Amino acid sequence: MNWLREVARRLRMLVHRRQFDADLEEEMQLHLELRQQEHFESGMTADSARAAARRRFGNVTALREKSHMAWGWEWFENLVQDVRYGLRMLRKSPGFTAVAVLTLTLGIGANTAIFGVINGVLLRPLPYKDPSRLVVVWNDYGDSGQSLPAVSPSDYNDYIQRSQLIEEWGATGGGGRGAQTLVTQSSSGEEVPEKIDARFVSASLLSMLGVNLMLGRNFTAAEDVVNGPNVAMLSYKFWQQHFAADPNIIGKSFRLNDKDVTIVGVLPRDFLLLVPAEVFNFTKDVDIWRPQQLDYASFPRNLALLLAFGRLKNRVTLAQAQSEMDRIAAQLRAENEVHKSSGMRIRLVPLREDIVKGVRLSLVVLMGAVGFVLLIACGNVANLLLARASTRQKEIAIRTALGAGRRRIVRQVLTEAILLSLLGGAFGVLLAYWGTDLLLALRPADLPRVQDIHIDGSVLLFCLGACLFTGVIFGMAQALPAIRWNMDCLKEGTKGTGGGGRHPTRKILVIAEVAMSMILLLGAGLLIRSFYLLERVRPGFDPTNVLTFQVSAPISRYPTPESAARFEQAVEDGIAALPGVVAVGGVVRPPLTGSGPQTPYAYNPETEQKWESISADWRPATPGYFQAMGIRLAAGRFFTRADDREHPRVVIVDDTLAQQAWPNQDPIGKRLQVTYRRDFTSPPVLDKVYAQVVGVVIHPRIHDLSRAVRPQIYNAAAQSAIPTLTYTVKTAGNIPGLEKEIDDVVHGLDRGIPVHDVRPMDDFVSDVMAPRRFSLIMVLIFGAIALTLASIGLYGVIAYSVTQRTHEMGIRMALGAGPKEIWGLVVGEGLALAVPGIIIGLVGGLAVTRLMSGLLFGVSATDVPTFAGGAVVVALVAMIACYVPARRASKLHPMTALRHE
Amino acid sequence: MPRGDHLHRDEIPPGTLYLLILKTLARSGEMHGYEIANSIQRISDDVLQVEEGSLYPALQRMLIKGWVTAKWGTTAGNRRARYYQLTAAGRKQLAVEMSQFERVIGAITRVIEAV
């Protein structure tokens, strides 16, 4: 602890350093006087006594400094001095300070805001217990078969039994809106049915994630068994809205699906189950949580309907766990014919990676773009600093002449630079707070982990790092030329010879700025082209004037597939009769509403052998669906009401599948092996059936407008067992009051069935475009800022140069040069900077835009029109930046110019 | 440059200034800077000549190390002076420096006598 006491003594010295200095001075003085007196008393004259005393003592100033430095605070005192001096310099030129700070605020603020998003979405650990060890289980089939984060309950059961390296398992087996109906009493005493979002989970899931309940307890293992008790946990929001945040809610019950359900717990406000985007039928706003109560082993092996989570044992790597799961997959393939034919494989994906994989590239591109903005801002501030260099040059020469070391000079310049950047950073944080709100307002709906985005310690730390980084960057740009300057400028008297003209640094900076804004503009241009092309893509369906809504026929009232189908047909008929309705049809999962059901299929002996190694999207639909959605028929016919359970099973395939299965043949009348759900029993029974192809449609892009994902098979809804349909209503235009009329139709058929999730089809299109729109707007904003900053930089250099060359221009004019020549001279100088910048930017663009090819659609990363257009835009902006100085130069009177110092 | 009365005096061997100050303080208790300088010279029969000013940086360093403490007092001539006093750590350091010094001297002596 000795060193601690030493530090304490040093600190005490720092605080009382004036006192210490005075003490030292006094005791040295005493020493000198006593010695002088001694000499004097021994007979020397007063003068020689003083001289002798001084001689014996040594160099007082040097000794005083040595004593002072012994305390080790020299650096600190220098820093204080530098900071004071720097602040004085900044105060002395408020215009310069304001422009520099504003520029830095923009750069640092934008970076901080974007980093805040990156930090929340990509970097922060998930809000669960020990989240780095959580994985999601994916099952992949065959070479081009299904790949989903979904496993069969029987398999899940086997994972639990067989895995040694995964210590905890949790699963959720469905849910979503539509499954559960809550009946509440309206004020008039009428019973109002309401669909709520229930999520079914294993008892282990929430405890595995480490959720601390707000009230009550988690499900017990005893509750998570077949025919277990009717219990539920409430989400915070549901508890607030439906139970008025009753603190004594635990143990009370409410009616759900005509049964009493006991409340055992309430979840915390911020809890959110984060799942991969591919999970089927998942909504974020879960209202209530229920134990899934599944008899895992009773499920067929090929019914993959559980989302399974695992927690790796401590110190087990992903690779180790994966190889164990590979072994288990091999066992399961050997034991089960369905897994053998399908080539089922198990893949573990870290939960965090799975959640953010869709947005990582766009966020990284945004960070890159905003980083460029910061570099350009640095360049501008460095340019401003260098423009002031002519005055500073003299000052620095004087300081050097007085004995300031090179290091001391550099430190002074850097201190000033970092002061500037810290000022910019302080305002930048404010800008970032505001910018984060703006970003969140503009964000695409599918951005995961929004609740984790805020400005926290690590974001502030990043901001501080950005400040120091920028300060050092533009500080060095100023300091390096400064230490090369010599004393010569002192000889030149008052004649100010600017640093800017002679030093290439400013020009290099401007060229770099132009190059970087060129690259940003190329990125923005490519995104704009992609967006434009995607907007014009014909997705194979027509979303205009299509309204969608969901209706579920509860099994309690419609226990057979036939009764459900009759209800669904009645709904369709009722809506078709409404005025303005052009077509109406029902489907499971309309386009762009997330991943939906899939079916394995086979069309020849070979594919029958490898059953389940290939799969297609499986869309039960009613006859009117195709016309309502504008899906076009290529051959054959659509479904009719006659395609019911009394008649042979029929399907409609898309042209992709028809081409793959029966190239150069007529697909109509061909047989396709698929699976149908038999009835409403749970677990569901799937029948492997041959269905006849009656129609071929042009493939609609139902997952993503940018590409066809997999083949599609439509089956007649009345031939399957479908309790919930999404209805699509095509109207002749905007029909006011249509929603109310639809409500009336459904309630006229059955008072107990609510209509929910009413949304126009256009909304879904706009939702899938939202991430692209977001990246596009952001990159465009950053590109615009970059170009503005770069043109300000260019303007600064050219304007400065015009001032420098006024005398020269006067001579040229006197020798007969007209305004045109002068104009050309100035613009030529601007272009001499802009053109290399543009060329470097284009070359750099070739390298950089390739990294964002994952975000592009329909254009290559080296799209020639974009590159050409970008170059023209930058060149034009450069010309505009030169315009004002050029005009000023051309209007100069030759005599004024000649007299110009 | 005339060195005057410095000529017949020996410079203090490097690194021994701490030792001399510590020893002087150990012998005499409290002293101010001037007294320390005088004491070193007197006891060495004016052989050891301190560049007197260099006492002060050394004393500052010893204050930081915690070997000595200082407090203000009054001299016989009624002047304010800073008196230095050895601490326990200073005593320990003196022992360390002493044994180190004796080791070095012993070694040098052996080398010389071996010739």
Nearest to B33 among A2, A10, A27 (CB): A27
The DSSP output letter for A700 is P
Residue corresponding to tokens 């002293």: B31
pLDDT of residue B7: 41
Based on the fold, state whether residues A571 and A647 are members of the same structural domain: yes
Domain B4-114 has CATH 2.130.10.10: no
pLDDT-derived band at A525 (thresholds 50, 70, 90) equals very high
Residues A377, A409, A88, A401: what is their CA dihedral angle, to the nearest 10 degrees?
-140
pLDDT-derived band at B12 (thresholds 50, 70, 90) equals low
Nearest-CA distance A52 → chain B (Å): 10
Based on the fold, state whether residues A172 and A256 are members of the same structural domain: yes
Helices (H), A294-388: 318-335, 337-342, 351-356, 360-387
Please say if the pLDDT value at position A178 is more than 60: no
Interface size between A and B, measured as CB pairs under 8 A: 71
CA–CA separation, A197 and A283 (whole Å): 8
Reference B85, options B70, B74, B96; nearest CA is: B70
pLDDT-derived band at A229 (thresholds 50, 70, 90) equals very high
A102, part of any domain: no
Number of domains in chain A: 4
Please say if the pLDDT value at position B50 is more than 90: no
Closest-CA residue in chain A for B78?
A: A30
Crossing angle for the helix pair A406-442 and A94-118, to the nearest 10 degrees: 50
Chain mean pLDDT for chain A: 87
* Residue A153 near residue A299, CB atoms below 8 Å: yes
Nearest-CA distance A44 → chain B (Å): 14
Nearest-CA distance B57 → chain A (Å): 4
> Where along chain B do its domains lie?
4-114
A122, part of any domain: no
Closest-CA residue in chain A for B62?
A: A70
pLDDT of residue A490: 61
Helices (H), B44-87: 55-65
CA–CA separation, A307 and A201 (whole Å): 9
User: Could you tell me how many helices (H) and strands (E) chain A has, helices first?
Assistant: 29, 22
**Hey, are the CB atoms on B51 and A27 less than 8 Å from each other?**
no
pLDDT of residue B2: 40
A317, part of any domain: yes
**Hey, are the CB atoms on B57 and A67 less than 8 Å from each other?**
yes
pLDDT of residue A671: 95
**Hey, are the CB atoms on A58 and B52 less than 8 Å from each other?**
yes
Reference A172, options A128, A118, A208; nearest CA is: A208
Residue corresponding to tokens 């023209």: A872
Q: How far is CA A122 from the centre of its chain?
A: 8
Based on the fold, state whether residues A745 and A829 are members of the same structural domain: no
CA–CA separation, A56 and A32 (whole Å): 9
**Hey, are the CB atoms on B57 and A6 less than 8 Å from each other?**
no
Which A residues, 25 through 64, put their C-beta within 8 Å of a C-beta on chain B?
A: 26-28, 30-31, 34-35, 52, 55-60, 63-64
Based on the fold, state whether residues A402 and A323 are members of the same structural domain: no
DSSP conformation letters of A393-432: HHHHHHHHHTT--HHHHHHHHHHHHHHHHHHHHHHHHHHH
Per DSSP, the three-state class of A112 is helix
Phi, psi of A504 (to 5 degrees): -75, -10
A93, part of any domain: no
Per DSSP, the three-state class of A638 is coil
> Chain B residues with CB-CB distance to A under 8 A?
4, 32-34, 37, 51-54, 56-57, 59-61, 63-66, 72, 75, 79-82, 89
pLDDT of residue A503: 59
Please say if the pLDDT value at position A670 is more than 90: yes
CA–CA separation, A719 and A645 (whole Å): 5
Give the residue from A311, A343, A375 where a domain finishes. A343
**Hey, are the CB atoms on A67 and B32 less than 8 Å from each other?**
no
* Residue A498 near residue A390, CB atoms below 8 Å: yes
For A693-709, what is the mean pLDDT? 91
CA–CA separation, A744 and A750 (whole Å): 10
Count CB atoms within 10 A of the CB of residue B66: 17
Please say if the pLDDT value at position A870 is more than 80: yes
pLDDT tens figures, A3-41: 788 888 888 878 887 888 888 888 888 888 888 888 888
Whether omega before A865 lies within 30 degrees of 0, making that bond cis, reads no
* Sheet strands (E) in A706-775: 712-716, 724-731, 756-760
Q: Is pTM beyond 0.80 here?
A: no
Query: Helix, strand, coil % (nearest 5) of chain A?
Result: 55, 15, 30
CA–CA separation, A424 and A431 (whole Å): 10
pLDDT tens figures, A117-128: 999 989 888 989
Based on the fold, state whether residues A381 and A446 are members of the same structural domain: yes
Helices (H), chain B: 17-28, 33-43, 55-65, 88-114
A762, part of any domain: no
Q: Which two tokens stand for residue A791?
A: 């043109």
Please say if the pLDDT value at position A360 is more than 80: yes
For A97-114, what is the mean pLDDT? 91
CA–CA separation, A665 and A644 (whole Å): 27
Chain B residues close to A5, C-beta within 8 Å: 66
pLDDT-derived band at A144 (thresholds 50, 70, 90) equals low
Q: Which two tokens stand for residue A893?
A: 């009177």
CA–CA separation, A339 and A612 (whole Å): 8
A648, part of any domain: yes
Based on the fold, state whether residues A221 and A328 are members of the same structural domain: yes
Closest-CA residue in chain B for A30?
A: B81
From residue A438, give the alpha-carbon distance in Å to each of A103, A442, A666.
20, 6, 55
**Hey, are the CB atoms on B80 and A30 less than 8 Å from each other?**
yes
Please say if the pLDDT value at position B14 is more than 70: no
Please say if the pLDDT value at position A578 is more than 90: yes
From residue A54, give the alpha-carbon distance in Å to each of A39, A49, A112.
11, 9, 60
The residue among A490 and A158 whose pLDDT is bigger is A158
Nearest-CA distance B59 → chain A (Å): 8
Phi, psi of A201 (to 5 degrees): -130, 160
pLDDT tens figures, B15-34: 788 888 998 999 888 899 88
Give the residue from A296, A315, A343 where a domain finishes. A343
Q: How many residues does chain B have?
A: 115
CA angle, A528 then A530 then A534, to 5°: 120
**Hey, are the CB atoms on A27 and B56 less than 8 Å from each other?**
yes
For A311-318, what is the mean pLDDT? 95
The residue among A490 and A573 whose pLDDT is bigger is A573
Give the residue from A312, A343, A374 where a domain finishes. A343
pLDDT of residue A301: 87
Beta bridge partners of A650: A692
Which of A39, A67, A68, A73 to substitute to test the interface with B, most B CBs within 10 Å?
A: A67
**Hey, are the CB atoms on B53 and A57 less than 8 Å from each other?**
yes
The residue among A577 and A445 whose pLDDT is bigger is A577
**Structural domain range at position A528:** 360-535+768-899
pLDDT of residue A196: 83
A134, part of any domain: no
The DSSP output letter for A539 is -
CA–CA separation, A263 and A270 (whole Å): 19
Based on the fold, state whether residues A198 and A319 are members of the same structural domain: yes
pLDDT of residue A498: 42
Q: Which of A384-398, A403-417, A773-787, B76-90 has the lowest mean pLDDT?
A: A384-398
Percent of chain A with pLDDT over 90: 42
Query: A239-266 burial string, b = 16+ CB within 10 Å, else e?
Result: beebbeeeeebbeeebebeeeebebbbb
Helices (H), A42-141: 46-57, 60-70, 74-92, 94-118
From residue B27, give the alpha-carbon distance in Å to each of A177, A675, A885.
93, 105, 82
CA–CA separation, A518 and A852 (whole Å): 16
The rounded radius of gyration (Å) of the Cα atoms in chain A is 38
Nearest-CA distance A57 → chain B (Å): 4
Per DSSP, the three-state class of A178 is strand
Per DSSP, the three-state class of A357 is coil
For A705-731, what is the mean pLDDT? 91
The residue among A56 and A327 whose pLDDT is bigger is A327
pLDDT-derived band at B1 (thresholds 50, 70, 90) equals very low
Phi, psi of A165 (to 5 degrees): -95, -10
Crossing angle for the helix pair B55-65 and A17-41, to the nearest 10 degrees: 140
Per DSSP, the three-state class of A235 is coil
CA–CA separation, A799 and A501 (whole Å): 11
Reference A439, options A372, A370, A368, A371; nearest CA is: A370
Q: Which two tokens stand for residue A775?
A: 């990246």
* Residue A805 near residue A826, CB atoms below 8 Å: no
Percent of chain A with pLDDT over 70: 95
For A623-644, what is the mean pLDDT? 95
pLDDT of residue A749: 92
pLDDT tens figures, A543-556: 999 999 999 888 88
pLDDT of residue A194: 78
Which value does ipTM take for this structure?
Answer: 0.84
pLDDT of residue B60: 87
Residue corresponding to tokens 């966020």: A363
Helices (H), A805-863: 806-814, 819-849
Chain mean pLDDT for chain B: 82
Chain A residues close to B66, C-beta within 8 Å: 2, 5-6, 9
